[in-house]
Amino acid sequence: MQPQDTAIPNLVSDIRRAVSAALQEDVGDGDITAQLIPADRAARARVITREDCTVCGRAWVEEVFRQLDPQLQLVWHCEDGDRVAADSVLFELQGNARTILTGERTALNFLQTLSGTATTAAHYATRVADVSAARAAGTSIRILDTRKTIPGLRSAQKYAVLCGGCHNHRIGLYDAFLIKENHIAAAGGIDRAIAQARSIKPGALVEVEVESLDELQQALDSGADVIMLDEFSDADTQAALSLAKGRAKIEISGSVDSERLQQLAGLDVDYISSGSLTKHLRAIDLSLRIDL
C-alpha cells in the first residue's frame, strides 16, 4: 500500500509536515555528534527488525532522508502492509555517513511507531478472520479505529491501521457526525440532534451512541445511519440487533481489547471500534547497522 492510494485527506502533505517538525525537534540547528565524521565520508547501512511485525512507514522514512539529503539512496526489501519475520532486513541505505546517522533516529521513530500500530491492527484483523472462518455464513464485521491517536500523527496512524487490515472510522470532527451523551443533552434529545445534523451537513454519515435499548429505539425512529452500543451486555446487544436489523448499522464500542474482540466477532454486528488499535501501541524494536 502507498499513502496516495488511500482516501485519507491530506496524507501526503501531512507526511512532509510531520517529518519537518520531527527533524527540527531532533536536529535543531545541527547534529554536533555527526560533525565528528569527515563531511565526505560515505557509508552503507541496513535497518533490521528484531521482532515479527507488519511494516508501515516507508514514505515517512523516505521523506526524512529526502529532506536531509536527496542524494541518499534507499533500497527497500518490503512494502507497507507486509508481514515480516524477526531479523529481516527492511531496507538499506547508501550515501553520506553524516546524513545516515543524523536521520537514523527520526526515521526509525516513524517506522517503529507506525509498524507498531499496523502490527496491532493485523492482530485484530486476524482474530476476526479466525472467527469468520469458523462460521458457516462468514462475517462482514469491520474493525474500526478511533480518534485516540498520537497528536500530530492522526493521518499516519489511520494509514497504519489500513496497512494492518483494519478500517478507519471518521478521520476527525469534520467528516461525519458522532452524537454522544453530551451532544444529546445539549441539543435537547436524540431526535433533535439527528435533525440538526441533517440540516448542518446533508449527506454526511450520522452516528449516535446509545446507552440503553430505549435510546436505541429513539435513534432508529429518528433515522440514524449507524448506532453505537456503548458497554451493552451480550443479551442487550442481541436485542439491539433484532430491533435494528435493516434499519441501521450497529457498531460495538467500549472496553474492546483483543480477547473481548473475539467474543464480539461471533455476533452479527457491522462494526467493532477499538481505541486500542492506536493508543495502546508498542513500538517495534528496530536496529540500524552502519558500515563505513
Contacts of residue 235, Cβ cutoff 8 Å, sequence gap at least 6: none
135 — pLDDT class (breaks 50, 70, 90)? low
User: What pLDDT score does 136 carry?
Assistant: 47
Catalytic: 180? yes
User: What pLDDT score does 129 carry?
Assistant: 77
Beta bridge partners of 291: 44
Alpha helices (H) in the chain, listed in sequence order: 11-27, 58-68, 97-134, 154-163, 181-187, 190-200, 213-221, 234-244, 258-264, 276-279
Q: Give the separation between CA 90 and CA 83, rounded to whole angstroms.
A: 11
Contacts of residue 12, Cβ cutoff 8 Å, sequence gap at least 6: 3, 4, 59
Catalytic: 209? yes
Q: What is the pLDDT of residues 188-232, one digit of tens each?
A: 999 999 999 999 999 999 999 999 999 999 999 999 999 999 888
3 — pLDDT class (breaks 50, 70, 90)? confident
- For the segment 147-170, the average pLDDT, to the nearest whole number, is 96
Q: What is the pTM of this model?
A: 0.93
Give CATH for domain 3-123+281-291.
Answer: 3.90.1170.20
Contact by Cβ (8 Å): 92, 45: yes
Greater pLDDT, 34 or 127: 34
Which member of 82, 230, 268, 285 is catalytic?
230
Contact by Cβ (8 Å): 98, 37: yes
149 — pLDDT class (breaks 50, 70, 90)? very high
Quote the DSSP letter at residue 167: B
DSSP states of 86-139 as a string? TT-EEEEEEEEHHHHHHHHHHHHHHHHHHHHHHHHHHHHHHHHHHHHHHSTT--
Which member of 147, 148, 260, 279 is catalytic?
148
Domain with CATH 3.90.1170.20 in the chain: 3-123+281-291
Which member of 105, 127, 147, 279 is catalytic?
105
User: What pLDDT score does 6 carry?
Assistant: 87
Contact by Cβ (8 Å): 251, 76: no
130 — pLDDT class (breaks 50, 70, 90)? low
126-279 sits in which CATH class? alpha beta
Nearest to 131 by CA among 241, 242, 267: 267
133 — pLDDT class (breaks 50, 70, 90)? low
Q: Give the separation between CA 149 and CA 275, rounded to whole angstroms.
A: 8
Q: Give the separation between CA 123 and CA 65, rounded to whole angstroms.
A: 30
Q: What is the mean pLDDT of the chain?
A: 93
User: What pLDDT score does 146 carry?
Assistant: 95
User: What pLDDT score does 63 carry?
Assistant: 98
What type of residue sits at position 199?
Answer: S
Percent of the chain at pLDDT above 70?
Answer: 95
User: What pLDDT score does 82 carry?
Assistant: 98
Quote the DSSP letter at residue 36: G
Q: What is the pLDDT of residues 44-62, one digit of tens each?
A: 999 999 999 999 999 999 9
- For the segment 1-15, the average pLDDT, to the nearest whole number, is 90
Please report where in the chains the cell 553520506 appears, as a residue: 96
Catalytic: 63? no
Determine how β-strand 89-96 pairs with β-strand 73-76: antiparallel
Q: What is the pLDDT of residues 225-253, one digit of tens each?
A: 999 998 888 889 999 999 999 999 999 98
Q: What is the pLDDT of residues 176-192, one digit of tens each?
A: 999 999 999 999 999 99
Domain with CATH 3.20.20.70 in the chain: 126-279
